Structure 1
Amino acid sequence: MKAPISWLKEYVDINIPAEEVAEKLTAAGNEVSGISSTVPAWEGVVVAEVLSVEPHPNADRLRLVTVNTGSEQPKVVCGAPNVAVGKKVAFAGIGTKLVDGHTGQPMELKAAVIRGVESKGMVLSERELGISDRHEGILELPSEAVIGTKLADLLGDQVLELDITPNRVDCMSITGIAREIFAVTVSKDIPQMEIKSITMPDTAYEEKGPDISSLLSVTIDAPDLCPRYTAAVVKDVKIAESPDWLKKRLTAVGMRPINNIVDITNYVMMEYGQPMHAFDMSKIAGGKINVRRAAEGEKFVTLDGEERILSGDTLMIADGEKAVAIAGVMGGANSEVSAETKDIILESANFNSTGIHHASHRLKLGSEASMRFERNLNPELAMHALKRAVQLILQICGGQAATGLINIYPGKKTRLGVQVPASRFSLVLGADLGYDKILRAFKALGIEFYWETVDEAEYGTGGETQFLRVYSPWWRTDLNIPEDMIEEVARIYGYDNLPVRPLSGDIPKRVGPPILAFKKLWRIALAGFGFQEMMSLSLSSFDALERTTSDGKLTAEPVKLLNPMTSEQECLRTNLRAPLLTAVSSNRRFEEGGFRFFEVGRAYHSKPGSLPAEPEMVCGVIAGEAEPAGWQQGKRPFDFYDAKGLLETILGRMNLPYTLEPGNDSGLRPGHQAQISVAGVTFGVFGEVHPKVLKNFDIEEKAFLFEINLTSLMPKVRPGRSYQPLPKYPAVMRDIALVLDESVTHKQVSDILANFSLLKEVRLFDVYSGKQVPDGKKSLAYRLSFQSPAATLTDNEVDKVMAEIVSTLMSQLGATLRA
């Protein structure tokens, strides 16, 4: 937001340098990022007065001019026809950098001898100053200009450049910034009882036209999107170029002048912060305005000539036959003000901030108007701005204002105010400022307040408590809770003036979300197993995600970006696999041995009609050598059981009663993968990477991958550690070799064996298929450990259990004992 000092001075008395104003505004929370000027610096150019004009001894068209700069009286050679004694002129001394009046190129002024006479400077034209192309005569300055003043200070205007926070929409206006300057500077020098607000423009005007109800009617079909609609009619206006003062002010704040009507609406928007729009009344069918939602797929041509396709939640301004504007965003080409316009309808409305935000971003039509509506303007602002705009139109464009104004206000709310306990100010601020300073701050900000006494007996505290009932002014929408009001006091009193006091107790320990600690646990565990952590971008491409599957079909729908920067960043990742597999492929070109990579981060799964799911995931990959070659053994590559043992070890530390079942992940090799579940909830998968996926990533060796959904797993983790006493009695060991169908799994066998209470440990030590077993069969050999917590087991007791085990395996799995 740009705020010229000269414009601000119309509302508030600024008698300190702009740099000091900027410092005080920044300290109060409205950061001034810079101070610029509307003209070049013109270093070395000052106001001078012509003392004498004499003929040049060697040239008829040149004259010798003596000027007074306040510090010296140099003599210069000048050929301008309008130079005269007593005139105030712009003078440049030796060394000043200017624009050459003949070539238009930059130059540095040097001492020169012109036709035998030394010239010690120049009196300047507009072309030499870069103001315009006029160079027939010198620039004549106002007679009241003070000699010796810098020309930039005389002709230019200092402009404050503020970075306004989203909650302070009131400061997206000149009057809003003026109120802040008044509160943080001017009001401090005024006795408390005499503090008033800034000087606002007089909005009174004469109504000579017919009653507005005979010219215009307004209906609101979408009151949830349009809380208030006000309008005025001005007839017989003259469309022309705006006066210089208006164009200069708009230019100073970065707006381009167009014509007097449009310029006035822009001027009032910058002055009050209320966006406005003017319609050519002759183009409004039936003299009717209807505020409605767009039809789904409705087409509309905006002022920029582009046809827009609208959605059903876009708010439109329509007449009796057609849409004429996208509310709060941009007007239509079919109702714009032109040179032929005679009568205008002036709109000053309030629109729902969320609706305007969605419409402007969906249509990519951000503007000064939509930017203000998005930040929640107060509906009360609409009428103030409307009256000011009509007053300016009558003053600049002529015409007759219709009698009365349109004011449809379905969203009017009761003004309740905020109740603030008197004791809460010192509690929040950490200092007792005294009520005089609190009330002074409220008065400076235009905040109304009343004292209230509340009997708190019904709350069990007894006695009476003093409260302030505080009402925010109509231009502020950010003051809604007691802390907002207390913050206003701190801002105006000065944050730097608040006393610094140490905390009365210990700083509480930070307790973060449990998922952070859970992720850290996995990081530590995997790092302990020799893994290296990776960190990749959340953005991915559809191709990279599809390459992590053998069939190109994704199990989760990606979240698409509306405006991706590159084709490799067109969606959010649905898993963490692609970067890890890419790392294996790229690192294998430069390194030998084994790779252990992992990443912890979020995946993103699209959910139609709601926000995407964002599960926290950990994914790891191993490939290459598990153990390097040594003098006692050869090198051993990673296999399925390395991944399995890794996960079993980590999950075992968490005391999780997990189960393993065959998996069907399309990114892993069938029959060489497993999924992990707890209480019926699947939270992970691991196994050998599918050969097609390896080929997709140019990996020429086996790789094994695991992926765990930490969000699903964390609620299943049991806190603390489990404890079992050491056994008192010895174990009895027995071996058993079973011949089973090849389709029978070790898990099926172990699940049956788990039902025998005396059997404490089952260890598979041999798997065989070959000549010694029939076709379609395999041999599984187990070492069984029997143990009782009550006594030492006898051989007869163990034999009895062994017989039951064999009988059960034969009946349920068709097992036979291997000879």
Structure 2
Amino acid sequence: MQIPLSWLREYVDVDLPPHELAHRLTMAGVEVGEVTELGGWENCCVGEVLEVTPHPNADSLQLCRVNPGAGAEMEVVCGAPNVAVGQRKYALPGTHSGKHETLKAARIRGVVSEGMICSELELGLGDAHEGIVVLPDDAPLGMPLDDYLGDTILDLEITPNRLDCFSILGVAHEIGALTGKKVRVPESSYSEGGPPITEEANVSVADPDLCHRYTASLIQGLKIGPSPQWLQDRLTKAGLRPISNVVDVTNYVMLEFNQPLHAFDLDKMRDKTVIVRRAAPGETLETLDGAPRELNTEVLVIADSRDPIGLGGVIGGANSEIGANTTSVLLESATFNSYNNRRTADTFRLHTDASQRFEKGLRPELAPIALRRATQLIQQVAGGTIAQGIYDIYPDADIPKPKVSLTLRRLKQILGMDVTLEQVEDVFHSLEFETERTGDSSLAVAVPYWRSDVNIEEDLIEEVVRIIGYDNVPTTMLSTPIPHQQSAPMTELRWRVKESLATAGLQETISYPLVSLEDLEKVNYSAEEAMPLRVANPMSTESDYLRPTLLASLLNTLSYNEGHNEGPFRFFEQGRAFLPRPNQLPDEREVATGVVSGLRSEPSWLVDNGPLDFYDVKGMLSSALAYLGLTPSWETATAEEGPALHPGRSARIMCSGSQIGILGELHPTVLERFDLTHRPVTVFEIYLDNLLALPARSGRNFRSLTRYPSANRDVALVVGDDVPAGKVQEILNRHRLVDRVELFDVYAGENLEPGTKSLAFHVYFQAADRTLTAEEVSRTLEGLLRTLQRDVGATLRE
């Protein structure tokens, strides 16, 4: 919201410097984002055009004799079509325009131009450049333009609850309360010389639940044309584009009082009738933006005796638009249902200045006040005769306005400070709230029409502390000890798992916990065994069941991303899976699920790139679990454990004898169902509940580096093909002198007995207190070979 200081000063005396005023407003809760100084027109002054003659060497240019107000008359070359004798506006050589360009005297088509008569664009006041800016006749000759047109703009960043600060008067009331100044509300009196309005137009409200108050006035015999310069200047400085005198007045009063208004051409309205009603099925309306709108029965329209002529509180219709030939205007000022207004604006994706105000909830008392002010200004700028009386349809007029109660006990409870009843009354009087004492320490407060955000006792307390000043609230110690932190092991584990997977190179995704049964069937989930829980009111047919697995959502994410880039794709999601239970609510399990596919890195001729496979993901998970202080082991998984996985290419993830997850390649039929092109796709699931149930872990421990060298041996062992390499590696690692073991070769084929395989390991021996001898290493290795022979039937390969 842009607030010109010159406009603000019309309603309240502002004697604070702009930046200090901005600080005071911000500290009171009305944030000023920026203070902009409008001006910088050095050596630019108000001049008068005395004579206009054709340029001798150019048909499109004219020679203007200008009186600068001080000094000798000057000759200026001007190409503006609207320049005329008597107009006031001028720039001398040396002027800096709105674009900070220096003006110099120059020869134009053989004639020296000693200055410039400026347009809006050249002064930085707007985008118009077709003609010059014409100042009022009473603009003082010779006055610097900085003094005459210069201004300061406060750019407010208003929170949605402070609807009153979307208006100049609303901000004036804030400044008045903060500085103790009296606010001057403009008069709205006018003479009514026309016939009674009821004889010239018919107005009715068919749906008062959507239109709480509807007021209208009538001006006849007016003339549509450009607005006076003062009106155009104020709208431009506030960020709006001038259109015509009648439309500009409606925008002006909206900015002034915060009440949107709309002007209808009465002669274009069938039977000169207005009916505020719900739209009929199948009705359409072409709005002022030129777009045809198909309406439904939940949309409130302003209609004539047959057709809609506007969307209530949003935008008018093209069939009743004010045009150059308009002579009779029916002016509307109403209060619409905020919820319905918001829904209508959202339905048509048509958020206007009016709808943004109505959807926040305006008070009905504001409608006739703004109507009379706008009627007065339209007569002032467009002439015409005002009909006698106004339409004011207000079914709730007799309902007394509720007052809000406030007690000092509650105020102290909220603020933690003592405030006297007299101080509270002073605050409310400065805000122009009416108060009535209902006890020694309580008040009943009547909220003025411009403050629709104050409805409960806590709102009143907020007003008190805002005006007193947040910085005046005393700092005191807490009356009770700070409670001890309650640990939340699952919450902490969730964050650690996220960090570990991200550190391992995976990217987190987030999806809805609702899926379709079709997607669950794609991952071979059998609903016959356990039907997932269906939502009673699903948002769509694609989101109607609580997911028993996160895999379907992740594969949809992978399929979408494959259509937009080549990868690599490394996704994971952490959330809840809802495992169905018969005749009960589902069992909620915390899981982390991931999918990995594509090339190991982006295509490059520098590296021999291959697809990410099972072993890449196994390495990622080993790294992630090591980050959590865990050392996993791997066991062959059955088809029932991973119905979406490829048989024989899946493994249980084990830790301390418990299964904490599953890892495997996706089954080819599942790949086809999701239209996945990159092969293979490796997926994993980590069960956080099982992870949390593991014995307490000390995490990663520091181990000092030894000063003694290591010795290594390469060992090739022949074992049965059903013996996991991890089992052999675990046995080798048991000995205290073995530092680490690395598998570097697996072989099966010629020279080996059927049903066997060869495993080759690097075995590193090291002691922390001495250098190992060859005899110690050989003796240790022989003991390990005997253990392997006993436990897994391993023999040394010849």
- Give the TM-score category using the shorter length: 0.5 to 0.7
Residue 391 of structure 1 aligns to a residue in which SS? helix
Cα distance in 1 between the residues matched to 2:218 and 2:120: 47
C-alpha distance in 1 between matches for 2:329 and 2:492: 66
TM-superposed deviation, 1:205: 1.8
Are residues 90 and 447 of structure 1, via their aligned partners in 2, closer, same or farther at CA, if it must alter by over 3 Å?
Answer: same
Change (3 A) 1:482 1:242: same
- The one-letter amino acid of 1:383's match is P
Deviation at 1:270, TM superposition (A): 1.1
Contact 1:210 1:403 (C-alpha < 8 Å) held by counterparts: yes
Q: 1:686–1:350: structure 2 CA closer, same or farther, 3 Å change rule?
A: farther
Query: Could you say which residue in structure 1 is the equivalent of 2:415?
Result: 429
User: 1:152 matched to which residue of 2?
Assistant: 146
The letter for the 1-side match of 2:202 is S
Q: Say if 1:228 and 1:407, in contact at 8 Å, map to a contact too.
A: yes
Say yes or no: does 1:278 pair with 2:283.
no
Question: Are 1:468 and 2:443 matched, yes or no?
Answer: yes
Query: Is 2:509–2:573's contact at 8 Å kept on the other side of the alignment?
Result: no
Counterpart in 1 of 2:304? 319
Alignment of 1:3 onto 2:29: no
Q: Distance in 1 between matches of 2:557 and 2:403?
A: 55
Matching residue within 706, 712, 727 for 2:685 = 706
Residue equivalent to 1:754: none
For residues 668-717 of structure 1, what are the alpha-carbon distances to aligned partners after superposition, in whole Å with 9 as ceiling and x for unaligned?
A: 45999999xxxxxxxx9987632234575456558453377x9xx99xx9
Measured in 2, the distance between the counterparts of 1:423 and 1:76 equals: 74
User: For the residues of structure 1 that align with 2:204 and 2:261, how far apart are their CA atoms?
Assistant: 18
Cα distance in 2 for residues equivalent to 1:298 and 1:447: 45
Aligned twin of 2:553 = 575
Residues 1:105 and 1:636: Cα distance change in structure 2 (over 3 Å): closer
| Aligned equivalent of 1:370 | 355
Q: Which residue of 2 aligns with 1:130?
A: 122
**Separation in structure 1 between the aligned mates of residue 18 and residue 215 of structure 2, nearest angstrom:** 37
Paired AA for residue 170 in structure 1: D
Q: How does 1:184-333 map to 2 (within 5 A)?
A: 184-187=178-181, 198-333=183-318
Tell me the alpha carbon deviations over residues 627-655 of structure 1, each in whole angstroms, 9 at most, x when there is no partner. xxxxxxxx997999xx9xx99xx9xxxxx
Question: For residues 51-94 of structure 1, what are the alpha-carbon distances to aligned partners after superposition, in whole Å with 9 as ceiling and x for unaligned?
Answer: xxxxxxxxxx999x9998xxxxxx9995569xxxxxx997868x
Query: What letter matches 2:223 in structure 1?
Result: K
Q: Is the 8 A contact 1:89 1:140 kept in 2?
A: no
Q: Which residue of 2 aligns with 1:779?
A: none
CA distance in 1, matches of 2:231, 2:154: 18
1:502 correspondence with 2:477: yes
1:430 to partner: Cα distance: 2.7
Checking the alignment, whether the CA contact within 8 Å between 2:89 and 2:117 is kept in structure 1 is: no
Distance 2:282 2:343 in 1: 16
Partner residue, 1:793: none
Task: Quote the Cα distance in structure 2 between the aligned partners of 1:184 and 1:526.
Answer: 49
Amino acid across the alignment from 1:518: M
| 1:13–1:186 contact (8 Å) kept in structure 2 | no
Distance 2:46 2:663 in 1: 83
Distance 1:177 1:662, change over 3 A: same
SS of the aligned residue for 1:262 comes to helix
Distance 2:679 2:64 in 1: 90
The one-letter code of the counterpart of 1:15 is D
* 1:27 correspondence with 2:19: no
Q: Measure, in 2, the Cα distance between the counterparts of 1:376 and 1:293.
A: 20
Secondary structure of the 1:403 match is: coil
Cα 1:526/1:163, change in 2 over 3 Å:
closer
Q: Which residue identity is paired with 1:346? A: L
Q: Report the 3-state secondary structure (helix = DSSP H, G, I; strand = E; otherwise coil) of the residue aligned with 1:619.
A: strand
Cα-Cα RMSD = 5.6
338 and 637 in structure 1: CA distance in 2 versus 1, 3 angstrom threshold: closer
CA distance in 2, matches of 1:289, 1:702: 65
For residues 578 and 278 of structure 1, do their structure 2 counterparts lie closer, same or farther at Cα, with a shift above 3 Å needed?
A: closer
Go from structure 1 to structure 2 and tell me whether the alpha carbon gap of 1:663 and 1:224 turns closer, same or farther (over 3 Å shift): farther
Change (3 A) 1:199 1:707: same
Relative distance call for 1:24 and 1:687 in structure 2 (3 A) is same
1:449 Cα offset (Å): 1.0
Gaps of 5+ in 1: 50-60, 69-74, 82-87, 113-118, 188-196, 454-464, 562-571, 605-613, 625-634, 651-659, 676-683, 722-819
Taking the aligned partners of 1:585 and 1:308, their CA distance within structure 2 comes to: 35
In the TM superposition, what is the alpha-carbon distance from 1:573 to its structure 2 partner? 10
Structure 1 Cα separation of the partners of residues 589 and 44 of structure 2: 66
> Which letter maps to 1:489?
V
For residue 604 of structure 2, what is the aligned residue in structure 1?
none
CA distance in 2, matches of 1:160, 1:276: 24
Residue 395 (1) aligns with residue 387 (2)? no
For 1:356-390, what per-residue CA distance to the aligned partner results, in whole angstroms no more than 9, with x for missing partners? 11211221211111111111111111111111111
Matched, 1:183 2:177: yes
Deviation per CA, 1:240-271: give whole Å up to 9, x if none. 22222212222221222222221111111111
**Could you tell me which of 428, 452, 477 is aligned with 2:452?**
477
8 A contact 2:614–2:682 mirrored in 1: no
- Contact 1:317/1:324 (<8 A) preserved: yes
Give the unaligned 5+ runs of structure 2.
49-62, 78-87, 542-549, 579-587, 599-612, 629-637, 653-660, 697-798
Partner of 2:608: none
Q: What corresponds to 2:758 in structure 1?
A: none
Q: Specify the SS of the correspondent of 2:208.
A: coil
Does the 8 Å contact 1:673/1:688 carry over to 2? Answer: yes
- Check 1:548–1:382 CA distance in 2 against 1; reply closer, same or farther (3 A cut): same
| Aligned length, in residue pairs | 600
* Paired residues of 1:689 and 1:705 also in contact (CA < 8 A): no
Distance in 1 of aligned mates of 2:139 and 2:553? 76
Partner of 2:574: 600
From 493, 497, 520, the counterpart of 1:521 = 493
User: Separation in 1 of the partners of 2:305 and 2:575?
Assistant: 55
| Distance change >3 Å, CA 702–CA 376, structure 1 → 2 | closer
Deviations 1:733-773 (A, max 9, x none): xxxxxxxxxxxxxxxxxxxxxxxxxxxxxxxxxxxxxxxxx
2:166 is matched with which residue?
172
Cα distance between partner residues in 2 of 1:171 and 1:253: 13
Structure 1 position 221, deviation (Å) = 2.8
Aligned to 1:692: 669
State the shift of 1:349 in Å.
0.6
Which amino acid is the alignment partner of residue 7 of structure 1?
A: W
Other-structure match for 1:735: none
Query: For the Cα contact (< 8 Å) 1:293–1:316, is it kept in 2?
Result: yes
Give the Å deviation of 1:333.
Answer: 1.0
Give the deviation of 1:326 after TM superposition. 0.7
1:669 to 1:249, Cα distance in 2 relative to 1, 3 A: same
Q: Which residue of 1 aligns with 2:339?
A: 354
- For the 8 Å contact 2:219–2:330, the answer to whether it is kept is yes
How far apart in 2 are the matches of 1:35 and 1:502? 38
TM-score w.r.t. structure 2 length? 0.62
Q: 1:673 to 1:478 in 2, by over 3 A?
A: farther
Partner of 2:41: 42
Contact 1:623–1:638 (8 Å) recurs in 2: no
Aligned in 2, Cα 1:161/1:707: closer, same or farther, shift over 3 Å? same
**SS of equivalent residue, structure 1 residue 328:** coil
- CA drift of 1:303 comes to 1.3
Deviations 1:99-145 (A, max 9, x none): 9xxxx994465999xxxxxx9x9876547993598999999997868
1:298, 1:62 → 2: CA distance? 57
TM (normalized to structure 1)? 0.61
Partner of 1:3, secondary structure, is: strand
